[in-house]
Chains A and B, each alone.
Chain A
Amino acid sequence: DGGITQSPKYLFRKEGQNVTLSCEQNLNHDAMYWYRQDPGQGLRLIYYSQIVNDFQKGDIAEGYSVSREKKESFPLTVTSAQKNPTAFYLCASSPRQLVTDTQYFGPGTRLTVL
């Protein structure tokens, strides 16, 4: 099956800990994205990558870090510097290096800070 997988589905973290969210795609898409969604809100872009070994900050990158060492993988680390990390995190990909393309989303990871 082709698609985007995110793991884990639910994640609990203690304050002060870093945590890494996984995102993998087997669609052979060039671009990948991370969004944050808060209740009743739209999606806010955290980071995106149009090509391997390159990534760009989105609108709310502070307190987050990413890497893109492989085309199919784009992990997101939520660091202790992120003041309010409890949210629903969505990973997406698009076929070309064009951020205005149709985006294909994973099922999301719900992060809760205890």
Chain B
Amino acid sequence: SQQGEEDPQALSIQEGENATMNCSYKTSINNLQWYRQNSGRGLVHLILIRSNEREKHSGRLRVTLDTSKKSSSLLITASRAADTASYFCATALQGGSEKLVFGKGMKLTVNP
């Protein structure tokens, strides 16, 4: 797998259900970030979790980070049609080559 790979690649749910997206990565990170992109638009930052944090909440969003498994999950509770978008995880690499590496993204469709 590449650095920052989302799973599943696509998810279709009904309004009101919860949506869970996973991100796996390969190398040590400073932080991990989740972004949303509506079709044809720029990315919007959702949440940042640092490597020494295990869980973070923001509104209907819950992010967890397991550095031992090199994985993160993003949970959107009580989904709405407006949550339909592509979601990207971005990993902030440690060490000499500091940069933010984006995954390929996953497409969430919330049906009304």
Partner-B contacts on A (CB < 8 A): 4, 6, 35, 40-43, 45, 58, 88, 90, 92, 98-100, 102-108, 110
Partner-A contacts on B (CB < 8 A): 4, 30-31, 33, 35, 40-45, 48, 88, 92-93, 98-100, 102-105
| CB-CB under 8 A for A42 and B88, given A102-B33, A102-B48, A105-B43 | yes
Chain A contacts for B31, CB-based, 8 A: 100
Chain B contacts for A42, CB-based, 8 A: 4, 88, 102-105
Contact of A103 among B4, B98, B100 (CB under 8 A): B100
CB-based contact A43/B42 at 8 Å: no
Chain B contacts for A105, CB-based, 8 A: 35, 42-44
Chain A contacts for B92, CB-based, 8 A: 100
Chain A contacts for B100, CB-based, 8 A: 45, 99-100, 103
CB-based contact B93/A40 at 8 Å: no
Q: How far is the CA of A102 from the CA of B92 in the complex (A)?
A: 10
- CB A11 to nearest CB in B, in angstroms, measures 14
